[in-house]
Amino acid sequence: MVAAEAVPFVKSGGLADVIGSLPKALVAGGADVRVVLPKYGDIPLAWREKLRPVDSFVVQVGWRRQFCGVETLTHDGITYYFLDNEFYFKRPGLYGYDDDGERFAYFAQATLEALPRLGWKPDVLHCHDWHTAMVPVFLKAHYGWNAWYNPIRTVFTIHNLRYQGVFGYGVLRDLLNLGDEHFHANGLEFYGAVNYLKGALNYSDFLTTVSPTYAREIQTPYYGEGLDGTLRHRRDALLGIVNGIDYDAFDPMTDPHLAVPYRKSAKKKAQNKAALQRELGLPEREGTPIVSLVTRLVEQKGLDLIAHVLEELLREDLQLVVLGAGEARYEKLFRDAAYHRPGRISTNLKFDEGLARRIYAGSDLFLMPSKFEPCGIGQMIAIRYGTAPIVRETGGLVDTVQPYNQYTGEGHGFSFSHYNAHEMLDTVRFALSMYRDEAHWTRIADNMAKQDFSWTASAKQYLQLYDRLTNA
Scanning 222-327, the segments in alpha helix (DSSP H) are 228-233, 266-280, 303-314
Candidates 91, 86, 84; CA nearest to 54 is 84
For residues 67 and 85, the answer to whether their CB atoms sit within 8 Å is: yes
Confidence of residue 334 (pLDDT cuts 50, 70, 90): very high
Pairing of strands 124-128, 153-158: parallel
434-457 tens-digit pLDDT: 999 999 999 999 999 999 999 999
The number of residues in the chain equals 472
- Least trusted range by pLDDT, from 6-15, 302-311, 358-367: 6-15
Tell me the three-class secondary structure of 355-384, residue by residue. Answer: HHHHHHHHCCEEEECCCCCCCCCHHHHHHH
Query: Of 240, 248, 289, 256, whose CA–CA distance to 384 is shortest?
Result: 248
Instruction: Give the pLDDT of residue 71.
Output: 98
Q: Could you give the count of Cα atoms lying within 13 Å of 66 in the half-sphere of its Cβ?
A: 25
d(C-alpha 34, C-alpha 2), whole Å: 9
pLDDT at site 425:
98
Q: What domains are there in the chain, each with its CATH number? A: 14-244+456-470 (3.40.50.2000), 266-449 (3.40.50.2000)
Give pLDDT, residue 12. Answer: 86
Question: Confidence band (pLDDT; 50, 70, 90) for 472?
Answer: confident
Give the bridge partners for 198, in sequence order.
none
Rounded CA separation 246/18 (Å): 9
Task: Check whether the bond before 221 is cis (ω within 30° of 0).
Answer: no
**What's residue 310's pLDDT?**
97
Structure confidence by residue, pLDDT tens digits, 249-287: 999 999 999 999 999 899 999 999 999 999 999 999 999
Question: Any bridge partners for residue 214, and if so which?
Answer: none
Share of the chain above pLDDT 70, in %: 100
Answer yes or no: are the C-beta atoms of 210 and 242 closer than 8 Å.
yes
Q: Which residues of 51-80 are buried (b: 16+ CB within 10 A; e: fewer)?
A: beeebeeebebbeeebebbbbbbebeebbb
Q: Across the chain, what does the average pLDDT equal?
A: 96
Buried residues in 107-124 as b, exposed as e (16+ CB within 10 A): bbbbbbbbbeebeeebeb
CB count in 10 Å sphere of residue 13: 16
What is the per-residue pLDDT for 241? 97
Instruction: Report which residue type is found at 167.
Output: F
Tell me the pTM. 0.93
For position 338, what pLDDT does the model report? 96
Section 151-158 average pLDDT: 98
Please write the tens of the pLDDT for every residue from 13-72: 889 999 999 999 999 999 999 999 999 999 999 999 999 999 999 999 988 999 999 999
